[in-house]
Amino acid sequence: MSQCHTGGSCAGQEKTLDAAVAQLEHERQLQRIRHKIVVLSGKGGVGKSTVAVNLAMALAMAGRTVGLLDIDLHGPSIPTMLKLADARLDVVDGKLIPAGYEALKVISIGFLLEHPEDAVIWRGPMKAGVIKQFVHDVAWGDLDYLVVDCPPGTGDEPLSIVQTLGACDGAVIVTTPQDVALTDVRKSISFCHKVNLPVLGVVENMSGLVCPHCGEVVDVFKTGGGEAMARDMGVPFLGRLPLDPNVVQAGDDGHPFVHRHGRTTTADNMEQIALSVLIACEPSSEPTSSQPLKEANMRIAIPALNGQLCMHFGHCEQFALVDVDRAQKTITGISYLTPPPHAPGLLPRWLHEQGATAIIAGGMGSRAQDLFAESGITVITGAPVDVPAALVTAYLNGELVTGDNTCDH
């Protein structure tokens, strides 16, 4: 132990200095994260992780640098929902390197478990310590947004992350329309008030049902409960997300539905929710800004045979590349290109090089969908046979009726 010049111990001063250095490093880390959003719900099973994943992805699609932090220590689902269940983290210079999905940086306790089925049996202090490490000891770098997926309730984990992050932009509260959920979710809003966490708004999930045949939203179950609760408690209402088979399939496949299923009702609603959050955090951002949630100018690829959509993209003779202005919902140009000889994995890369941002297809195998998603191309399957201009016009107007994916390989 070191001694001062008077012969006394300097251990106390050294500990104080170490604490001051650690606090300074912590503050510097937080300063590199511009906006912090906490996704909460007082009730389990309402789709909170689904909202967190797709909110993060929608913000990344808007050109923002986004981190996704999963602090559901007892039931982490983010690794599965992003096809990262086998990911393991590296350590560089004493900091964990986040796993990556597309442009997202992701941290979850699931990456640190030896086996996915291992149970985490921790008391409050240990939970708080790990959550603090997930902020301080991770190489997040410079982030525009950090989206935090919390477990249900108002206990250790939500309190720890709010205390660790300090000033946050606010919370997104997720509920379903039923009274049994709303009673518990009200407690989340009260929690936010007590810890001085602004409420960005309420998302009413599982509101209505998307018909798997026609795509129409049917009010099979109760709707409007989340909106009424938000109005009653004086907080914003962000929007509704219906029950949608595409959401279930996307979660099982390990891909955010907002990225995979293009201009479906559910994806459009999620993008509007994300846009509301973005504008709340960045008041100068408007839908017509230079980085909207989806670019105003798009290039949509359509596999064509004899001038109409070819039901399997790998068997087409040409690709129609349709340039559109999404803000005006107009087609600005159409060109036809002959693709290179068909080979596994080639067409997604080739279309990406041609500037395609979406593809409308009749049928497409799951592996091909993965490759298109990796190339940043939104996939819409189940489209009917029609000329490219008609398909794109229907897509822009939200009137494209899609059926079953006609490819199963």
For residue 318, give both structure tokens: 């040409």
pLDDT at 363 over 90: no
What does the pLDDT average to over 289-315? 73
Detail the DSSP E strand segments found in 110-233.
143-149, 170-175, 199-210, 217-218
- The residue type of 386 is D
How far apart, in Å, are the Cα atoms of 208 and each of 46, 78, 216, 222, 317? 14, 25, 10, 7, 41
- 238-287 pLDDT per residue, tens: 998 988 888 888 888 888 888 777 557 788 888 889 988 988 998 865 54
For residue 241, give both structure tokens: 């997300």
pLDDT score of 257: 86
In order of their start, the domains of the chain are: 28-281 (3.40.50.300), 297-396 (3.30.420.130)
pLDDT score of 343: 72
pLDDT band (50, 70, 90) for residue 79:
very high
Tell me the pLDDT of the chain averaged across its residues.
83
Q: Residue 299, Cβ neighbours under 10 Å: how many?
A: 20
- The residue type of 352 is H
- On whether the pTM is more than 0.75, the answer is no
Residues across the chain: 409
**Residue 134 in contact with residue 107, Cβ under 8 Å?**
yes
What does the pLDDT average to over 322-346? 81
Residue whose tokens read 């310590």: 129
- The residue type of 67 is G
**Residue 261 in contact with residue 284, Cβ under 8 Å?**
no
- 218-244 pLDDT per residue, tens: 676 678 889 999 999 999 999 989 888
Q: Which of 39, 124, 120 is nearest to 74 (CA)?
A: 120
pLDDT score of 2: 47
Compute the C-alpha angle 235/236/238, nearest 5°.
140
Q: CB-based contacts of 353: which residues, under 8 Å, 6+ apart? A: none
**Residue 338 in contact with residue 358, Cβ under 8 Å?**
no
pLDDT at 169 over 70: yes
Residue 165 — φ and ψ, nearest 5°? -80, -25
pLDDT band (50, 70, 90) for residue 408:
very low
pLDDT at 38 over 70: yes
